[in-house]
Amino acid sequence: MRFCLAPAFVAALVFGHGAFAAEIDLGPRPAWLVGQMADGPLKDKLESCLGEPAKRTLFSISHRGAPLMFPEHTQEGYRAAARMGAGIVECDVTFTADKELVCRHSQNDLHTTTNILATELAGKCTKGFAPATGDQPASAECRTSDLTLAEFKSLRGKMDGADKTATSAEAYLKGTAPWRTELYGGAGTLMTHAESIRLFEDLGVAFTPELKAPEVAMPYEGMTQEDYAQKLIDDYKAAGIAPENVFAQSFNLADVLYWIENEPEFGKQAVYLDARRDLNPMDPSSFSPSMAELKAMGVNYIAPPLFVLLSLEDGKIVPSPYAREAKAAGLYLITWTLERSGPLSSGGGWYYQSIGEAIDGDGRVLEVVDVLAQQVGVKGIFSDWPATTSFYASCMGLD
């Protein structure tokens, strides 16, 4: 199955809305990754595509914008992702004190993703800055629900990170991972969900909003979880966006089932983000609900982390039992998150845990993408730097 998009939107993906959307610039990273690969047919194929024009593909999904280098969920990061050929861009959706929907990875990450602790709004945080003392790391907790929309919009996005050894708020804000960069961190324009819709439409990309779990108790001032899920869909209806161009996501299966029942046109492409902690991807008997049961509920798309879809056989990366079971049930797979682990010289960490023994450097990134695309059959891959997935998809002729 292909992603299903309205004909007019397909034209937009090919030709772009305006001059910016038509321009794709992959930059040097894909060539650098190819150069790190072991010699073989895959490297030969990818090398043959270096320097060739790239196309915008739905296989390439922007995760939080382009947070390998740009502050996440900012206008600047979203524009960078589109320029790198992402065909689908993500706005993680949460809400403010006045129940307005905004783009943030979680409701309580403002202290690590914005400059709030350097502003007067720090006094409104759920938990103010506490310096590191003895065995206690520095901490803070600032929520979108601590602020009105106007206050939220006054903040500036920054690279996600915090220095847990800090004794001042200023130092706490400087915790960017060494394999990211501050080069583009000086300007991070925060966005509402509605603003992201208008921007993505102008950029000629499809939409994948994720309904984030609230940190506040629900109902929140009369807004139930169902109201919250509906509010997300209503923004697309108000903007006149065709349902087939929207891939609404949630880790909460109840949200996905709500969309399937109450907004069936949007529900057809609703994505169940599967991060069940009690699930053993090597043992299908541990899946509850099972893949077949999810399909019977009306779920069509399921999206686990990439390690869940992969395993090792005789040292080779192959599809996991989870991947095979999902395909057998007729579910379509998306996965996350490429290029979020930093350098892969020591196994790749959490995202690569099922195949860590085979991950010995960054040259493995495109090998992993190849197995996911050609053997697992994923329809798309989230990446923190979409140029990589755009390059691979363009080279291999993927949609």
High-pLDDT (> 70) share of the chain, %:
94
pLDDT at 14 over 50: no
C-beta pairs of 192-196 under 8 Å, 24+ apart in sequence: 192/100, 192/101, 192/102, 192/103, 192/149, 192/153, 193/91, 193/93, 193/101, 193/102, 193/103, 193/232, 193/235, 194/101, 194/235, 194/238, 194/239, 195/75, 196/78, 196/89, 196/91, 196/103
For the chain, give the mean pLDDT: 94
Structure tokens at 122: 């720090």
List, for residues 284-305, the tens digit of each pLDDT value.
999 999 999 999 999 999 999 9
Please, what is the Cα angle at 267 between 263 and 99, to 5 degrees? 60
pLDDT at 335 over 80: yes
pLDDT at 19 over 60: no
Sign of the dihedral through C-alpha 255, 258, 260, 263: negative
Q: Which of 113, 109, 126, 130 is nearest to 71 (CA)?
A: 113
DSSP letter at 137 equals: P
Give residue 187's pLDDT.
87
**CA distances (Å), origin 98, targets 95, 145, 149, 198, 375:** 8, 8, 7, 21, 46
Give residue 18's pLDDT.
40
List, for residues 197-243, the tens digit of each pLDDT value.
999 999 999 999 999 999 999 999 999 999 999 999 999 999 999 99
Hunting for tokens 């202290």 — which residue is that?
Answer: 111
Give residue 76's pLDDT.
98
Q: Which of 315, 374, 367 is nearest to 38 (CA)?
A: 367
Give residue 3's pLDDT.
53
Pairing of strands 86-89, 380-383: unpaired
Hunting for tokens 């609404």 — which residue is that?
Answer: 248
pLDDT at 193 over 80: yes
Give residue 1's pLDDT.
41
Give residue 17's pLDDT.
40
Pick the more confident residue, 5 or 234.
234
pLDDT at 348 over 80: yes
Give residue 22's pLDDT.
62
Give residue 186's pLDDT.
84
Structure tokens at 113: 């993703």
Hunting for tokens 């206690």 — which residue is that?
Answer: 136
Structure tokens at 302: 């399921």
Asked whether 42 and 397 are in contact (CB, 8 A), the reply is no
List, for residues 136-185, the tens digit of each pLDDT value.
999 999 999 999 999 999 999 999 999 999 999 999 999 999 999 999 98
Domains and CATH numbers, the chain: 7-91+191-396 (3.20.20.190), 107-189 (no CATH)
Average pLDDT of 357-381?
98
Give residue 21's pLDDT.
53
Three-class SS of 183-248: CCCCCCECCEHHHHHHHHHHHCCEECCEECCCCCCCCECCECHHHHHHHHHHHHHHCCCCHHHECC
Give residue 23's pLDDT.
83
